[in-house]
Amino acid sequence: MTEITKEIVAEHGLTEGEYDEVLKILGRTPNLTELGIFSVMWSEHCSYKSSKKWLKTLPTEAPWVICGPGENAGVIDIGDGQAAIFKMESHNHPSFIEPYQGAATGVGGIMRDVFTMGARPIANMNALRFGRPDHPKTGHLVSGVVAGIAGYGNCMGVPTVGGETNFHSSYDGNILVNAMTVGLAETDNIFYSAAAGVGNPVVYVGSKTGRDGIHGATMASAEFDDDSEEKRPTVQVGDPFTEKLLLEACLELMATDAIVAIQDMGAAGLTSSSFEMADKGGVGIELNLDHVPMREEGMTPYEIMLSESQERMLMVLKPGREEEARRIFEKWELDFSVIGKVTDTGRMILTMNGEVAADLPVAPLADAAPEYDRPWTKTEPPAVIRGEDVAAPNDLGEVLLTLMGSSEIASRRWIWEQYDHMVMGDTIQRPGGDAAVVRVHGTQKALAITTDCTPRYCYADPETGGAQAVAEAWRNITATGGQPLAITDCMNFGNPQRPEIMGQFVGCIDGMRAACTALDFPVISGNVSLYNETNGTGIYPTPAIGGVGLLTDYAKMTTLAFKEAEDVVVLIGDLTGEMGQSLYLAEIEGREEGAPPAVDLEKERKHGDYVREMIEKGLVTAAHDISDGGLGVALAEMAIAGNIGAEITLETPLPLHAALFAEDQACYVLTVKPDDVEMLRGFALAEDIPLHIIGTIGHTDLKIDGALTISVSRLKEVHAKWLPALMSRPGSE
């Protein structure tokens, strides 16, 4: 038996104080298997020990929320007895070490979270962050991650319908790969994870257990150093073809009434799935590890419990239903094994080779997981930078072309063309717009789905940045005509033991809470990824937001593309000309400075509700919110999408470069038929909405105030070429 030394405890990521708590819970020294179980269950990745205190402050309820945080995924009611089930998760550390497999298994894991609850996945999204474009690893990482996402999602036959991709030096040593899945289920057939029924069989289904991914959860709870590539053995290896079989087998069994509880084996594998099921049900579980299907010889209890091999599920079945379930899984050529039973002891007892390998109390291990109130310092907001404080450029046209061809604005077509975004035949708004829109098959309903975050705002002022991330997700759904309903989040931050980093987390949560409350946009699921650092250098705080909304009639959906010549271009909201943290400042002047644009949540709600109402009335022919790059970029994107120009006149006291490139919030660009302008204006006056008529659509150029004339073809050319050029560099394969 391995002696448990201080060194072994430290290798398992437990502090001296945490280990003392282990000794107190057990009343004895743990064996190595038991120590490993405590290690993964109390890891940051599984226990949320640094973030729980703050996550609890987020709003999680609304009349349409069926299930909020705490299950595999969140559930909302979308009417007609149907539910949307969705979640976003991180796979950052594995994707940096092994980009293809790390990203692929991230997609596989989030899909399992969704179909575990009885939903058929209908859409995947992702939020990706890479280092600076000229970093020697960036091309290789982009190539591997995109291929991994495509390889897994395409094989599963689930469309990847959109997302976002950023490049910044803060991610040089620690990229972010956040994957989101949305599924559909019947409201009366949703499955949960609480084990119940003393004597009920506990069954293992799916792939065999191997030695891949051992201590993956622990690895994901530590920062990187120069030797991180040596952690490849902790990266799981996925098989989408097996997952497709597992999906169909699970859904087939779910059509019966045989399942009491179900949980996928994600981070920490059999350990977390069994303990979470037992804890939620207030029961004990006995497992005979000899019965676990294994693909490698001589596996120890430690390895079996900590393996993160993919495509596996743990279920509790009703008594006597084992053979019915076995027939289904064996038909789909998957392993099926009864490995244990539910007990009333409140303990997890593991046996192997006729011996007790572990005997642990369930509740104390789960409930006594550390919850830290870590010291934090507030990020002091920088000074506001106004348009008049920023020198006007010599050529506004060159500025717009530079922004359209920059790493943050350039087309992501190279990425999304590798994804099958049309499989299943229900994608009705493709990648490249404000939000993807996917039809609820066989109905007039559709779901609008988006991922959003502006990390540079969060770094400069976490509270404003957190609020803006939620508000932009809300705007993007609104711009399609969808009613925003709920969000999932993926909280990506550096080392929480550094007060300034913990302060970023607290600030972002505060901003998110305010925005979610003001916009009736609750958080129903999510994930926290901390220790995203290399050699003490952390990423920009990145609270990625995945938003879902509902269109009751997709025939009324809007897109951002300019449609018809003579349509009138309208600005909703007021331009303020605040230039802090703008792409203009970064790309044109080489400065990342100043306060991010102010977020007025009352205006966000008011303006967004008005836009949605006008879309519902059929008065809007195109809609696009203002975000990165400001009004100028928004107009260019609409012209490119519609392949038609516009003539714009801005009657503003602001310097023209500030009016065009400040990233003002709560603003939308709409187009409307000439005959409907007065009706639109009348509704705006009645509701006290700022509405400015700024131009008309037509011809082949984008013209602005006589100061800028660029052909749409030139805009398209510049917008399209940056990413293919990056990926054609040597080393990007």
In whole angstroms, what separates CA 652 from the centre of its chain? 38
Number of other residues whose CB lies within 10 A of the CB of residue 613: 14
Query: Could you give the C-alpha distances from 404 to 133, 383, 391, 632, 704, in angstroms and in order?
Result: 16, 27, 20, 10, 16
What DSSP string describes 27-67?
SS---HHHHHHHHHHTSHHHH-TTTHHHHTTS----TTEEE
C-alpha to C-alpha distance for 100 and 123, rounded to whole angstroms: 20
CA gyration radius, the chain: 26
Helix pair 240-254, 138-156: axis angle to 10 deg: 40
Any bridge partners for residue 491, and if so which? 528, 543
Q: What is the DSSP letter of 158?
A: -
Q: Which residue shows structure tokens 């192997």?
A: 352
In whole angstroms, what separates CA 564 from the centre of its chain? 35
Which of the residues 91, 93, 421, 624 is marked catalytic? 91
Q: For residue 140, indicate whether it is catalytic.
A: no
Ramachandran region, residue 525 (left: φ > 0; alpha: ψ -120 to 50; beta: rest): beta
The values of phi and psi at residue 535, to 5°, are 50, 40
| Residue 156 neighbours by CB under 8 Å, 6+ apart | 107, 108, 111, 121, 240, 243, 244, 247
What DSSP string describes 639-699?
HHHHT--EEE----SS-HHHHHHS--SS-EEEEE-GGGHHHHHHHHHHTT--EEEEEEE-S
Q: Which residue shows structure tokens 């949307």?
A: 84
How many alpha carbons fall within 13 Å on the CB side of residue 705?
Answer: 15
The values of phi and psi at residue 231, to 5°, are -90, 15
User: CA-CA-CA-CA torsion for 530, 523, 440, 478, nearest 10 degrees?
Assistant: -100
Q: What is the amino acid identity at position 442?
A: G
Q: For residue 45, indicate whether it is catalytic.
A: yes
C-alpha to C-alpha distance for 213 and 350, rounded to whole angstroms: 21
Strands of 120-130's sheet in order across: 65-67, 74-77, 82-90, 176-186, 120-130, 160-167
In whole angstroms, what separates CA 278 from the centre of its chain? 28
Number of other residues whose CB lies within 10 A of the CB of residue 162: 30
Which of the residues 45, 93, 215, 719 is marked catalytic? 45
Strands of 523-529's sheet in order across: 427-429, 436-439, 446-452, 542-551, 483-492, 523-529
The structure tokens listed for 611 are 């836009």
| Contact indicator for 214, 233 with CB cutoff of 8 Å | yes
Residues known to be catalytic: 45, 91
